[in-house]
Amino acid sequence: MAKEIIMPKFGFTQEESEILEWLNKEGDKVEKGDPIAVVSTDKISMEVEAPETGILSGIRHGIGEIVPVTEIIAYILQPGEALPEFESKKPEIVKAKAAPSPQVGSSVKISPLAAKLIEENQIDVADLIGTDADGRVSRRDVEDYLDRKSKPEGKIGATPAARRIARELKVDLRSVKGSGPNGRIQAVDVSSGKATLSNQNIPDDMPSVLKEIPLIGMRRMIADNMARSVREAPHMTLQIDVEMDAVENLRKTANEIVKKSNSRISLTAVIVKAAALAIKKIPIINSQFTSEKILVLKDINIGVAAALEEGLIVPVIHKADQLDVSRISVTLNDLASRARENKLKPEDLSNGTFTISNLGMFGIDRFTAIINPPQSAILAVGAIKPQMVPDESEDAVFNKKKILTFTLSADHRVMDGMQAANFLVELKDLLQQPEKIFK
């Protein structure tokens, strides 16, 4: 029986991925676990693996196409086996069986992304035809409708991804030579420099451009996620200064015992452990907001933001509260190394419940981070700076201390200022009594 290959779901909020590359061609023999395609998620490029050994067949989507998660992208066949009957039909025939255009006032199934486009472009749902199997209106249907509406003289052969990128980059698709079947324009054709920018609405005195960065792939998804976070989550920010002398002394002592450099305990690892323990005391920090309820999560999975050339990713330390500091440090080193080599796995980036962003190594004293949806809080970590601090036991006596400023951004829909403040106070107490972290 033909084995379906579906577009994997790599995260809580992911709805679709873009196919960046097919590593095998139609008819190739593949082994179970072999990477057969590369797709982009909202975090990083990922490989899709063959679910079993056999022959790659029935590839349904080309490079540059955006595919909803869980949709079939290809099949694995055994020798002598045939594709499912509907797969052998022409795409036009399959589309002809789609649900008819819904009538005004009828109940119409619409995907979340399609609904967003419909609202932004003020489209009458009655004008749309749903081409998904159950008649649901997809993002692709809305994009095709907008393209037809803007070009009444005839539709240009192009993938939905190519049309979206063309709109974003103000590219005239009539100037693009398509590399797909029958000259169909692919996303790569638009973004690789084969197209010319439309001169419409470009002022004569526009400043000269040093470099153009297409808003596609990871960069596009980061932009969408961050904009959604700022737009939907009312951020409140709280700061606290923490004396780091005790924790740095204890970390130094621990590292003197460790001989292997990759096992040395980093400051970030200590902060991850401290944050996890503080969350156990103040669990509302570890929450997600939904339209009907607030979900307080059991597992404490700490994401640590890391910068790549393509954008920001957040590898996750799962169940960080149950790991000792040494193990957290080793895991962080491994994740960072594999991130640089683009070898992270989906599970390395999935199910994060709280994020830490550390810019202290760049000399940044303090900053405010944007919450990583669907999480409810993010901790920004600055640099350790020497400061003169008054002695609590004596008047007019100052001592030199190592001070680090932590800034918590929290979703005010989920928690109040008192709860966020209690988390920071608990974090401070742990870092100033580090034996609780290292035990």
- 302-304 and 354-358 strand pairing: parallel
CB-CB contact of 237 with 301 (8 Å): no
Return d(Cα 285, Cα 410) in angstroms, integer: 8
CB-CB contact of 227 with 414 (8 Å): no
Return d(Cα 39, Cα 63) in angstroms, integer: 9
Active-site entry in 224, 299, 391, 412 = 412
Full DSSP string of 101-137:
PPPTTS---B-HHHHHHHHHHT--GGG----STTSPB
In the residue annotation, 318 being an active-site residue is answered as no
Between the two ends of the chain, the Cα-to-Cα distance in Å is 54
Return d(Cα 380, Cα 29) in angstroms, integer: 48
Closest CA to 217 of 192, 182, 194: 192
Residue position matching structure tokens 């202290």:
360
Question: What contacts 276, CB < 8 A, 6 or more positions away?
Answer: 300, 302, 320, 321
- Encode burial over 149-177: b for 16+ CB neighbours within 10 A, e otherwise: eeeeeeebebbbbbbbbbeebebebeebe
Active-site entry in 34, 204, 416, 429 = 416
CB-CB contact of 44 with 313 (8 Å): yes
Return d(Cα 330, Cα 385) in angstroms, integer: 26
Residue type, 40: S
Return d(Cα 16, Cα 268) in angstroms, integer: 32
Angle between helices 417-432 and 267-281 (to 10 degrees): 130
In the residue annotation, 235 being an active-site residue is answered as no
Full DSSP string of 207-260:
PPPS------HHHHHHHHHHHHHHHHS-EEEEEEEEE-HHHHHHHHHHHHH--S
CB-CB contact of 427 with 255 (8 Å): no
Q: Which residues are tagged catalytic?
A: 412, 416
